Amino acid sequence: MIGEEPSNIRTREAAERDFIVRALRAVDVSESDANDVANVLVAADLRGVESHGIARLDMFYVRRIEAGVVNARPQYTALSDRPTQFALDAGNGLGHPAGIFAMRKTIEKARENGLAFATVRNSNHYGIAAYYAMMALEHGLIGLSMTNSTHLAVPTFGRQKTQGTNPIAVAIPAGEHAPYVLDMATTGVTFGRLEVSERKGKQLKPGWAVDAEGRETLDATTAMTKGALLPLGGYGTDNGGHKGYGLGALVEILCGVLSGGLFGTSLGLDERGLHGGTVSHFFGAFRVDALRDGDAFRRDLDRQLRTFEDSAPSPGADRVVIAGEPERAFTERYRREGVPIDPKVWDGIDEMAKRLNIDKLERFTVG
Q: Which of residues 3-62 bind a copy of itself (CB under 8 A)?
A: none
Among 8, 28, 83, 359, binds a copy of itself (CB under 8 A): 83
Residues of span 264-303 touching a copy of itself by CB under 8 A: 264-265, 286, 288, 290-292, 296-297, 300-301, 303
Between the CA of residue 33 and those of 36, 40, 96, 97, 277, what are the distances in Å? 5, 11, 8, 5, 16
The least CB distance from residue 220 to a copy of itself, in Å, is 15
Single-letter amino acid, residue 285: A
Question: Nearer to a copy of itself by C-beta: 25 or 328?
Answer: 328
- Total residues contacting a copy of itself by CB under 8 A comes to 86
Closest approach, Cβ 121 to a copy of itself, in A, equals 9
Q: Which stretch binds a copy of itself (CB under 8 A): 10-18, 58-66, 229-237, 348-356?
A: 229-237
Judge contact between 259 and 117, C-beta under 8 A.
no
Residue 108 touches a copy of itself, criterion: CB under 8 A:
no
| Cβ 266 vs Cβ 153: under 8 Å | no
What is the CA 361 to chain-centroid distance, rounded?
23
Using the rule CB under 8 A, give the single segment among 4-12, 24-32, 69-77, 82-90 that binds a copy of itself.
82-90
> Is residue 188 within 8 Å of 206, Cβ to Cβ?
no
User: What string of DSSP letters covers 176-243?
Assistant: SSPPEEEEE-SBSS-HHHHHHHHHHTPPPPTTSEE-TTS-B---HHHHHHT-EEPBTT-SSSTTSHHH
Report yes or no: 152 and 161 within 8 Å, Cβ to Cβ: yes
Q: What is the DSSP letter of 50?
A: G
Nearer to a copy of itself (CB atom), residue 60 or residue 286: 286
Residue 70 C-beta: closest distance to a copy of itself, Å: 24
Check binding of 158 to a copy of itself (CB under 8 A): yes
Q: Considering only residues 300-359, where is the footprint of a copy of itself by CB under 8 A?
A: 300-301, 303-304, 307-308, 311-315, 317-323
CB 23 within 8 A of CB 16: no
DSSP secondary structure letter of residue 56: G
Rule CB under 8 A: choose which of 4, 31, 138, 238 binds a copy of itself: 238
Stretch that binds a copy of itself, among 14-22, 41-49, 176-184, 333-341 (CB under 8 A): 176-184
Residues 110-149 that bind a copy of itself (CB under 8 A): 113-117, 119
Question: Per DSSP, what are the bridge partners of residue 231?
Answer: 187
- List the one residue from 99, 227, 234, 340 that touches a copy of itself (CB under 8 A): 234
Cβ(172)–Cβ(179) under 8 Å? Answer: yes
Confirm or reject binding of residue 178 to a copy of itself (CB under 8 A). Answer: no
Q: Which of 131, 208, 330, 334 binds a copy of itself (CB under 8 A)?
A: 208
202 binds a copy of itself (CB under 8 A): no
- Evaluate whether 141 touches 285 at the Cβ level (below 8 Å): yes
Which of 224/255 has CB closer to a copy of itself?
Answer: 255
Q: Is 110 helix (H, G, I), strand (E, B) or coil?
A: helix
